[in-house]
Each structure stands twice: as structure tokens, then as C-alpha cells.
């Protein structure tokens, strides 16, 4: 069973990145029953990154962050997307098997356009590149947030069209979603995303973390009154860090009254700070040991490249690339 995921190096990692993508992959990695493939999707980041120095720096920092959060290069194949050039070749070949209507129905693209993003080809064809990422390595499962399920389904549709024409060449992937944490709410209650400016960053310093948690939108219920936890943005973020008993205890605090939302935000601040304490120390170590990080990425890229080269040799022959 091969499981694959990628995350864009589009800036500082936030809780949405961690709980919807990184943590599930690390948990699967540590179970040891699957072949884990994890990459930094720097080609995908070009849809929004226009500063070359910033993208390169973000890519390195993302590698440091992933390692600090628990990706183990001894257990997982870990590399930077652009180190395996076959993914772009497959992207182009798959484009000839991708109906326009399939991409026009992509929810993520329509959502971005509705929010004012430029209508460019890279954003429109994003699902095809994602399909190449998935199919190149014969991925069986792709852990994603709920909003990304459709992209995995598109990859599956493209694979089916190719296979129907040429035989069973590509493995048909399945999306894997944890329904409890598929969409992590941001400080405004919408999906947490850097694009929306509503994130709580994993490696934020104490001052920044306090500012970000302080921005969480709440209602105007008076301090002394009981409060509803079910639809509270603070609670819905805090519960990600709590087991069942911890969640029940926090619910009782809401229902009892006598505490304002400022108290709950301070509690969330403590949860985030303590949970990522060790990861922050490891992050600083990797930032100051670039050679070590580069070595890890190089080893992962060689393994991924070996698999990609074999797959593309077969694909080239099938489609007639001389």
C-alpha cells in the first residue's frame, strides 16, 4: 500500500496544514504498515508565488518544518517535487487525456476565481499536475482535506481514460479523509488558509501566536453567561488538541459561564504552544543545518526518481514519444 501526499511551500505552516495533512501522514508513517511518499509541492506553489528568492526560501523552510514535525526519512520517501522532472512530462501527457469539462467543474478553481484570483492556465490545470504527482508513483491512497477530494477524483478519472486506451498502466488512487478534521477552521470560521489570512501558525513566536489567537471571531455573549461551544471558533480549534475527556471538560467550562472568550483564547494559546514545543526546537536545528536537510532531500529524490523513470519509460513507449 503506497500513500502519497504533498504540501505547498507557500509560507509558514499553520494548524490547517498540520491537522488536515501532515499529522495524518505522520501517524500512518509511524504505524509502519504502508509505503509512505511525501513531497514539497514547489511547482504547485508557482500558482501564487512570484518572488523567486521567497519561493526557494519557503521550500527549504518547509523541508525543515516537515522534518521537525515528525517526517522520518528512514521510514518515508521525502523529496522536493521539482527534483523529479518526470512529473512535468507526465503532466503534459495526461493533459491530452483530460476533458476541459472535467477541469471546468473543479470546485477549487471556481472558488479561487470567486475570491479574486487571476484566471491563469496554471491555476486551471492545477488538478492535472496533481494527477501526475499521484499517478507517477502508483499511489493507492492520498490523504487530503475535504476540499481536495475532487482533485483526487479527477486524477482517478484521468487514469481511467488513459487505462481504457492503453491497458492497466496507472493505479487508481483513493482519497483518504478523516471526517473529524477534514476542514480546520480559521480565525474567522472559514477554512484555515493563508489565502484568506485567517491562520494560526505552527512556529509563530509567543507574541505572534497571542495576536493570531486573539483575532478569532466570537459572539458577544457576556462573560458571566453560559456559552455555546458547538459553533464557537475557539472551541472548534482547541478540540483538535484534546482527547474526549479534555473536550468534555472544556464544554463544561463553556456551559458553566463565568469565563469570557478571552479566557478560552488564552487556553488555546497554551495548547498550541505546548503541543509544538519540541517541534519548534527541532525546526531551529534544521534551519541551522542546511547541509543535513539537503542530504535528506537528495536521498529521497533519488528513490522517487528511480520509480518515476521506470513509469515514464513505459508511458513514453505507449504514447509514442521517440
Phi, psi for residue 39 in degrees, rounded to 5: -140, 160
16 is in an annotated binding site: yes
Q: From the centroid of its chain, how far is CA 176?
A: 13
* Residue 193 annotated as binding site: yes
Are 269 and 310 members of one domain?
A: no
For 234-241, what is the mean pLDDT? 96
Q: What is the extent of the structural domain holding 29? A: 2-182+290-319
298 in the same domain as 279: no
Higher pLDDT, residue 289 or 122: 289
| Within-domain flag for 124 | yes
The CATH number of whichever domain residue 226 belongs to comes to 1.10.240.10
Could you give the 3-state DSSP secondary structure of residue 77? strand
Residue 245 lies in a domain: yes
Q: What is the mean pLDDT of residues 56-71?
A: 96
248 is known to lie in a ligand binding site: no
Question: CA-CA distance, 50 to 36, in Å (whole number)?
Answer: 31
Has 194 been labeled as part of a binding site? yes
Q: What is the pLDDT of residues 216-236, one digit of tens each?
A: 999 999 999 999 999 999 999
Confirm whether 227 is a catalytic residue.
Answer: no
**Is 188 among the domain residues?**
no
Q: What mean pLDDT is predicted for residues 114-134?
A: 88
> Whole-angstrom Cα distance, residue 113 to residue 124?
10
Q: Which of 191, 227, 239, 265 is catalytic?
A: 191
Confidence class of residue 190 from pLDDT cuts 50, 70 and 90? very high
Q: Residues, the chain, total? A: 322
- Is the pLDDT score of 115 beyond 80? no
The response to whether 145 counts as a known ligand-binding position is yes
Q: Do 136 and 237 belong to one domain?
A: no
Residue with cell 522517487: 304
User: Region 33-47: what's the mean pLDDT?
Assistant: 93
Q: Sheet of 35-40: strands edge to edge? A: 76-80, 35-40, 2-7, 141-143, 174-176
The verdict on 133 and 151 lying in the same domain is yes
Q: Which of 75, 110, 161, 194 is catalytic?
A: 194
How far, in Å, CA of 158 to CA of 161, rounded?
5
Residues 154 and 240 in one domain: no
Residue 222 and residue 154 share a domain: no
Indicate whether 312 pLDDT > 80.
yes
Both 64 and 172 in one domain: the answer is yes
Separation CA 159–CA 166 (nearest Å):
10
| pLDDT exceeds cutoff 90 at 262 | yes
With respect to residue 187, please indicate whether it lies within any of the assigned structural domains. no
Q: Which of 23, 112, 227, 239 is catalytic?
A: 112
pLDDT (mean) for 64-75:
96
From 212, 190, 217, 191, select the one nearest 201 (Cα to Cα).
Answer: 212
Query: 55-90 burial string, b = 16+ CB within 10 Å, else e?
Result: beebbbbbbbbbbbbbbebebbbbbbbbbbebbebb
Q: At what angle do helices 126-136 and 149-166 cross, to 10 degrees?
A: 70
Pair (206, 280) in one structural domain? yes
Whether residues 8 and 29 share a domain: the answer is: yes
Is 219 within a domain? Answer: yes
Model confidence at 43, pLDDT cuts 50, 70, 90, reads very high
Number of folded domains that form the chain: 2
pLDDT of 176 reads 86
CA dihedral defined by 16, 186, 9, 309, rounded to 10 degrees?
40
Asked if pLDDT for residue 189 goes beyond 70, the answer is: yes
Active site residue 292: no
More confident residue, 11 or 265: 265
- Which of residues 211 and 193 earns the better pLDDT score? 211
Placement of cell 480546520 in the chain: 184
Instruction: Please indicate if the annotation marks 230 as binding a ligand.
Output: no
> Would residue 194 show up in a list of annotated catalytic residues for this protein?
yes
Q: Report the alpha-carbon distance of residue 116 to residue 125 in Å, rounded.
A: 17
The answer to the question of residue 189 being in a domain is: no
The verdict on 302 and 202 lying in the same domain is no
Q: Is residue 177 part of a domain?
A: yes
246 in the same domain as 101: no
Model confidence band, residue 107 (pLDDT cutoffs 50, 70, 90): confident
134 and 245 together in one domain: no
The answer to the question of whether 147 is labelled as a binding residue is yes
**Residue 146 annotated as part of some ligand binding site:** yes
Residue 95 DSSP SS3: helix
Cβ distance 42 to 1 under 8 Å?
Answer: no
Whether 36 has a binding-site annotation, put simply, is: no
pLDDT for the residue 278? 97
Q: Write the CATH number for 126.
A: 3.40.50.620
Amino acid at each position: 500500500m503506497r500513500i502519497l501526499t504533498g504540501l505547498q511551500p507557500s509560507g509558514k505552516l499553520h494548524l490547517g496544514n498540520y491537522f488536515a495533512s501532515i499529522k495524518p501522514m505522520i501517524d500512518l508513517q509511524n504505524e509502519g504498515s504502508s509505503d509512505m511518499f511525501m513531497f514539497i509541492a514547489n511547482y504547485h506553489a508557482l500558482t501564487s508565488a512570484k518572488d523567486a528568492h521567497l519561493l526557494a526560501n519557503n521550500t527549504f523552510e518547509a523541508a525543515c518544518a516537515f522534518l521537525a514535525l515528525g517526517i522520518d526519512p528512514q521510514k518515508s520517501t521525502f523529496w522536493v517535487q521539482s527534483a523529479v522532472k518526470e512529473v512535468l512530462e507526465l503532466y503534459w501527457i495526461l493533459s491530452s487525456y483530460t476533458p476541459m469539462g472535467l477541469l471546468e467543474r473543479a470546485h477549487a478553481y471556481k472558488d479561487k476565481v470567486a475570491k479574486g484570483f487571476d484566471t491563469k492556465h496554471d491555476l486551471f490545470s492545477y488538478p492535472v499536475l496533481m494527477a501526475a504527482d499521484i499517478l507517477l508513483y502508483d499511489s493507492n491512497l492520498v490523504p487530503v482535506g475535504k476540499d481536495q477530494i475532487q482533485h483526487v477524483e479527477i486524477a482517478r478519472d484521468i487514469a481511467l481514460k488513459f487505462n481504457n486506451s492503453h491497458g492497466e498502466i496507472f493505479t487508481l488512487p483513493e482519497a483518504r479523509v478523516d471526517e473529524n478534521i477534514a476542514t480546520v477552521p480559521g480565525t474567522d470560521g472559514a477554512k484555515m488558509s493563508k489565502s484568506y489570512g485567517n491562520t494560526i501558525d505552527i512556529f509563530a513566536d509567543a507574541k505572534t501566536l497571542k495576536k493570531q489567537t486573539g483575532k478569532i471571531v466570537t459572539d458577544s455573549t457576556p462573560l458571566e453567561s453560559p456559552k455555546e461551544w458547538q459553533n464557537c471558533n475557539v472551541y472548534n480549534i482547541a478540540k483538535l488538541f484534546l482527547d474526549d475527556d479534555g473536550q468534555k471538560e472544556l464544554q463544561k467550562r463553556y456551559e458553566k459561564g463565568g469565563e469570557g472568550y478571552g479566557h478560552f483564547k488564552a487556553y488555546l494559546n497554551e495548547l498550541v504552544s505546548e503541543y509544538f514545543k519540541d517541534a519548534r526546537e527541532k525546526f531551529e536545528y534544521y534551519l541551522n543545518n542546511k547541509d543535513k536537510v539537503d542530504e535528506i532531500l537528495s536521498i529521497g529524490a533519488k528513490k522517487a526518481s528511480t520509480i518515476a523513470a521506470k513509469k515514464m519509460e513505459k508511458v513514453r513507449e505507449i504514447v509514442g514519444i521517440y
